[in-house]
Every structure is written in C-alpha cells, then in structure tokens.
Structure 1
Amino acid sequence: MIGGNAPAPYYRNRSLWGVSIAASVRSIGYGATWPFLAVYFNTYLHMSLLFVGLIFTLNSGISIVFSLFAGYMAAAFGRKFTLVLGNVAGFILYLLLSIFSGKNVAIISTLFVLTAFSGSLVFPSANSIVSDITSSMDREMGYAIYRIMANLGWAIGPLISAIIFSYGFGFIFLFVAIANAFATVIALIFVKTNTKFRSNRSGFLVKDYTLFFFSVPVFLLIMVSSQFSVTLPIYIVDDLHIVIKNLAYFYAVNGIVVVVGQYPISRMMRGHSDLYGLIFGSVFYTIGYLMVSFSHSLFYLIIDMIIITIGENFTSPNISTVASKIAPRDKVGRYMGFIGMINQLARTASPSVGTFILYSLSSSPILVWPAIDGFGISAIILFLVFKIAFVDRSRASGRPVNI
C-alpha cells in the first residue's frame, strides 16, 4: 500500500514526469533501432526469414521468465531499483552490440536475445511506479502521459536513425546504449517512490481467475499488434520493395500519432469503461492491418500506420489500467509482472507465427494480413465476453467494479 500523503495530481506529479521522461529518452534509442532490426538480420546478416522469426521469438521468450521475476523484484526490492537495473542492463548489452556489430553473427544474435532482460525489468517496474504514484481517478491519465512521453521518443528516434543509418548499425547500437545511460541518470534523480512493501514469501505467482480470463484477449491483441516489429517491416521491404531507409519515416508516424492523439483519446474515454477502449482499439488494429493488404506505396502505408496507432492509443494505457485495478494494492507489481509475462508470451509467439504466415503465403501476400487479423477479431469477441461475464455481472450483483 502507499504510505504518506495522497498522490499529487497527474499534471504536477514529479515522479510521474520523471519516470515518463526517462522512458522518453530510452525510447529515443530504441526507436532508432527497432524499425531496422528485422531487415538488418534478414538483409545485412543474410539470415533466412524463418530464422529471423526465431531470433525475435527467443528474445521475447527470455522476457517471459524475466517478466515474472521482475514483478517479484519490483515488489520485494523496490520499483526504482528494478527500473534502474533494467536501464543499466540495456546500456551494457547495447554497448556490446555496438562493439561486435558486423563481426560475428552468433555473438550479435546472442546479445540481441539477451537484451530482453533489460525490457522485462523496465516494463513492470515503470508501470508499477505509475500505479503507485497516481490516484485511482488519475491512473489512466498517468499511463497516458507515460505513453505520450515514451512515444515522443519513438517519433524522434526513427528520424535520428535515418541519419545514423548511413554510418552503420554499430553507431545505432551505440546510440541505444547512450540513451539507456541517460534514462538511468534521470530515474535516479527524479523518480521517488514511497511504497511500503510487505513480505513476499508467497512467491511471485498469481492466482486470480479474473486476471487469467482478461489475459486471454490481451494475448490475442498483442499477437496482432506485435506484427509491427518483425512481419510488417519485412513485408514492406521484401514484398512491396519500399526503400529500407523509408522505414524510419514510416515508424516515426507511429510515435507522432501517439504524441498527438493519446491525450485527446484518453480524455474522451475518461468516465467510460476501460474495456471499451480495448474493444475500440482492437477494431482499429484489425482494420489497419487489413488495409496493409491493399497498400502498395509509402503514402498508403502511412495512412495504415495512423489507423494502427489509433488502435494502440486506445489499448496500451488500458491494458495496464485494468490490470492495476484488478490487483490488490499490495500486489500491483506481481500483477504487472503477470500481465507483462502475457505480453511477452504473445510477443514470443508472434514473430514465428507472423513470419510463418508470410512464408506460407508468399505466393499470395494479399492473404497475409487477413490471416493475422483472425487474432484481432478473436480479441474483440473475448473482451466483450469479459465485460459481460465479469464486469456487468459483478455490478448487477452489487459488487463495485472500477473497470
């Protein structure tokens, strides 16, 4: 539970802005590298399409274990400690990637897989900090601010990478390392937490059937949304023959739309069920990816990205918000760790599933995205079922439900 005074309003909450600015700096670095990574492995390191999917699957698979572990660490040792440790790990791993870039495929692949350790520590700790330092009324806006700042980095990072790209991938990896170093300093100076931790002798596993049911459509939704990182860029370069450098501008649109659109959407949805945001977002994701099948130029792909990102604006803050509201106050870190594990489980499966679909339908690429959209349609249906079975039924029985 939270000790001390009531949290400051979100617009003047120093720790909220501290963790959000740290996320922004960190994402500038990651925004510079992620648009190119799948293409880098496939085109520059000459890895097969299926092996690229395997590399990203292993990266996400490592995160499954560490996401649960990180939730426990955030509860047992402190959110700030776990956040800082994740950023320090990112600095070390990407510095090593910059040193070995272009020298040894096995070393590069191994280091990339291990970078999952950094992200899986940062995600549950940062989300738990936002939950701890905001009131229930301000929590969705707190997560919206966190996402806006993080995605400001995703808007800036790809544009920077378009400049750095010509110097080689080693410099892009170095840029990510430097971004992690700055994020560490910002977190150390500005993020303050006053959470009083209880003993966690019971371990870090969760037993909550409401959370379990909620995690199923979340898994399906992430299966669709995470095609963004591997399947989509490879499809754009290999099947649509878009110039690789233009990926930077394509992905910058994602960050810009989050920065511009996240706050208005969060304000619009304030007072409405968080589940409506997840349902609306799943619809936008499904439509946006379906449109990719009929887009053959950068202009139309940018329109698709805008629609996909609107879906992201609806869903991303609400996944964390619902998980934090389901959780007992002293188990928020544990619940965030669990939902982080589900997130990473989907991200583990999606690269292999996406690249397998892309490989299997190589003779009919127009069918790739309708096939992937099956996950999005399933998520929409199950979010509706969750709302009816858990939320509406609980309210009808007189039990207060805040989601």
Structure 2
Amino acid sequence: MKLIHYFHPLVWIILFGTIFTRIASFMTMPFLAIYLHNVHGASPMLIGLTIGIAPLFATFGGFLGGYLTDRFGRKVIIIVTIFVWGSVFFGFALTTFALLFVALNAINGLCRSFFEPATQALMIDFTDNEKKRRLFSVRYTAINIAAVIGPLVGVMISTLASPVIPFIITGVMYVVYGLFLIGVLNKYEMRQKRLADGQNIASILRVVFSDYKLLLFLAGGTLIGLGYAQFDSTLPQFIQLKLEDGVKLYSLLISLNAVVVLILQLPISMLAEKISILASLIAGIIFFALGLVLFGMANTAWLFIIAMIVFTIGEIFAFPMMNAVIEEIAPETQKATYLGASQLKNIGGFIGPVLGGWLLIHLQAQLFFIVALLVLMSIPFYRRAF
C-alpha cells in the first residue's frame, strides 16, 4: 500500500497542518524565557511563572476542551481556537509589560489544550484501529520536523530583524491555517460519535476520574512533565550562566533534539514493538533522568550536546506511548474527553519551571539531580497501572 493511502486524506491534511503551525510556534515559544530575560529584565521566578502558566491552564482547560469537542463537534472547536490562538501571538508582539506575558501565555496554554485533543480526536475518527498507534508515531515525527525548522528560522529572523517579528509571523501563520481549515473541514462529513444530551460535564467528570488506570497514568505523566519542562525554562538560563553565547547553543540543542528524534525514532520504535509498553516507558524514564543528570554535570558545549542526545532517546521511548495508551482506554464517545483529561499531567509543566527557577537561585549545582530523582519516581505509578 502506498504511503499516501495509508491514512485518510483529512488525516494527512491535519498532520501537515501540524508541521506548519508547530514551525510557527517553535519560532517563538522556546525563546520566550530568553526574550523575557534579555528584553524585559525579568527575574528567574517571573520567567518560571510565565512559562509555567501555559501548562497550568492546559492542565485544567484540556478536560473542558475535550468535553466540548465530544459534545459540540471537532470542527467548531478547532476553527474557533485557531483564530483565538493567532491573536495571542499578535499580543506577544505588541505588549511591553512583562506581566501581560503571563496572561497571554495562559491563553496560549488554554488554546493548546482545546486544539490538541480536538485535532487528535478528529484524526482518530478517520483512522482504523490497527493504524492508530502508527498515527501517534507519525504525528510525533511531524512535530519534530517542525522543531528542526522553527527554532533556526526564529533565531535567523530575530538576528536579522527584531525579536518581536517572529511573534507577528506566527500569528499570521495561525490565521492563514484557520482560513484554510474552514474550507477543508466543510468538504468532509464528520464521523464523530457525540455524547448523548444527558451526559453533562459533571457526569463525564465523575466517570473519567473514577478510572483508576487513567489516574495512575496522569500521576506518572505529571512527574515526567515536571522534568521535561526544564528543557524550555531552566535549561536555557542554566546554559547562559555556564557558557558564553548560550542562546546559539540552546537553539542548536532544540534542533538537535528534533534531528535525533527523526533519525532514531524508527529503529527505537521497532525495538519498542518487541518489548512491552511498560518496558518502553521505563526505558524512556531512565534515559530522561540520565540526560538530566548529564545536564547538571555539563560545563562545555559538547557535554550539553551528549546530554541532549541521551535526554532525547528517553523522549522517543516514552512520548508516543503516552497518548496511544490514553486513546486505547477511552470509550468511543469520549475520545477527546480522555485526551483532554490527559492534559492534567501538564500540571508538571507548571510546577517544573517554577521549581526550576527556585532551584536555579538557591540550589543551582543540585538542580538537575533533584529533578532527575523526581522523574524516576514516576516508575512506580506506571508499574501499578500495568
């Protein structure tokens, strides 16, 4: 079977749209911490709050977004959210008051928590059961293709023009994608199985959070998210303190992260298929923790590069499995709700930058060792879940 026919055309459109919008996002968001520090002189704690507020709102917005998607349809939520999201990036470009970035990034997190479950659920609706695990793997690859391109483009534009220009371009790209989706989604009849009228958000909330297995997955995912959040918030500040020209090295590490994923995902995925999901998750967690320890020990660019490779191997083992498992345990009428509820693990993404900012001030030498230990504590939750 030809690759182009493996998934439904609408699925391919959403996957390529993922690359397009993620390139836009990666042009700006990885550098928000540096932008706040260099341009606005923000403190590590304020930077941590700004970065962490997005996953905090995504944590609680994900369930609401997933419920609304299952209740009112994928198309409405996707189209409304993408235009609101675009306006957020215009706000990033226009504001000069650091605290406003906190509010804007909160809306940014809320938009992501609505958009991600809706688009994932839409692709699931148009994908056969035996192809769904492959779908999550391909989507993960699409995100990392964008992660290779976006940061390099963002640095180039910021260097040649102004640090605010990438935010404007990102907003324009989101609006263009939204206009494109209006035309595309109207051409296809949605296949969604909607919630019944009597199933309100309170009743769904009780059902979802009585799922013991889901709760264990969320606990483990929260600890992993706490560790991974250091990549976006604490690591760029840590590198700047350790080395000169830290911005360029951090940009290189972001792209290296994506390149390693693209190179190693296929062989690691083939290996992961020969072992259990639990073994794959534990392997990922161990590599994550080892990568964090190496970050803490690094004092040269090459050591940071080695640490990034190890850290990324953990990402390859763990990340695709996390969403695939959530989809498998979700009832047919509650796919987006479960995927949205899984956003609760993003509480780790809120705690991580704030904790990292505090550790950077008070326990800089021990920062990544402490975080690595917290990541390893996720293993008992996953073992219990399986």
TM-score normalized by structure 2? 0.90
Unaligned runs of 5+ in 2: none
Question: Is it true that 1:368 corresponds to 2:367 in the alignment?
Answer: yes
The Cα RMSD (Å) is 2.1
Equivalent residue runs for 1:192-211 within 5 Å:
192=188, 193-199=190-196, 201-203=199-201, 204-205=204-205, 206=208, 207-211=210-214
Report deviation, 1:185.
4.1
User: Per-residue displacement from partner, 1:142-172 (whole Å, max 9, x unpaired)?
Assistant: 0011111121111100110121112222101
Code of the aligned partner of 1:290: V
Taking the aligned partners of 1:238 and 1:375, their CA distance within structure 2 comes to 24
Residue in structure 2 matched with residue 383 of structure 1 by the alignment: 382
> Counting helix residues as a fraction of each chain, which structure ranks higher?
2
Q: Deviation of residue 279 (structure 1)?
A: 1.4
- More off after superposition, 266-275 vs 115-124: 266-275
Q: In 2, distance between residues paired with 1:120 and 1:27?
A: 14
Deviation at 1:222, TM superposition (A): 1.2
Q: Distance in 1 between matches of 2:261 and 2:183?
A: 27
Per the TM alignment, residue 333 of structure 1 is displaced from its structure 2 partner at its CA by: 1.2
CA deviations over 1:29-66 (Å, ceiling 9, x no partner): 11111221112112321111112112223232222231
Given candidates 285, 288, 296, the residue that maps to 1:285 is 288
Question: 8 Å contact 2:289–2:376 — kept in the other structure?
Answer: yes
Counterpart among 40, 43, 57 of residue 45 in structure 1: 40
**Against the structure 1 CA distance between its residues 308 and 160, is the aligned structure 2 distance closer, same or farther, given a 3 Å change threshold?**
same
Please tell me the residue identity of whatever aligns with 1:194.
Answer: R
Q: Cα 1:68–1:159, aligned 2, differ >3 Å: closer, same or farther? A: same
DSSP 3-state at the match of 1:341: helix
Q: What is the rounded CA distance, in whole Å, between the counterparts of 1:308 and 1:79 in structure 2?
A: 34
Q: Could you state the TM-score of these two structures normalised by the residue count of structure 1?
A: 0.87
Identify if the C-alpha distance between structure 1 residues 185 and 151 changes in structure 2 by more than 3 Å, giving closer, same or farther: farther
Contact 2:63 / 2:338 at 8 angstroms: preserved in 1?
Answer: no
Distance 1:360 1:190 in 2: 52
Instruction: Describe how 1:98-247 pairs up with structure 2 within 5 A.
Output: 98-100=93-95, 103-166=96-159, 167-190=161-184, 192=188, 193-199=190-196, 201-203=199-201, 204-205=204-205, 206=208, 207-247=210-250
Quote the residue 1:329 is aligned against. Answer: 332
Cross-structure match for 1:266: 269
Which residue number in structure 2 is paired with residue 357 of structure 1? 359
How many Å apart are 1:341 and its aligned residue?
Answer: 2.1
Using the alignment, how far apart are the partners of 1:71 and 1:132 within structure 2? 14
Tell me the CA shift for residue 379 of structure 1. 1.2
Alpha-carbon contact 1:147-1:317 (below 8 Å) kept = yes
User: Is the 8 Å Cα contact of residues 216 and 384 (structure 2) preserved in structure 1?
Assistant: no
Identify if the C-alpha distance between structure 1 residues 276 and 170 changes in structure 2 by more than 3 Å, giving closer, same or farther. same
Work out whether residues 228 and 349 of structure 2, in 8 Å CA contact, stay in contact via their aligned partners in 1: no
Partner Cα separation in structure 2 for residue 83 and residue 298 of structure 1? 41
Q: Unaligned regions of 5+ residues in structure 1, if any?
A: 1-7, 388-403
Q: Deviations over 1:269-311 (max 9, x none)?
A: 2364322222111111111111112222222212221221121
Whole-angstrom distance in 2 between the partners of 1:242 and 1:299: 14
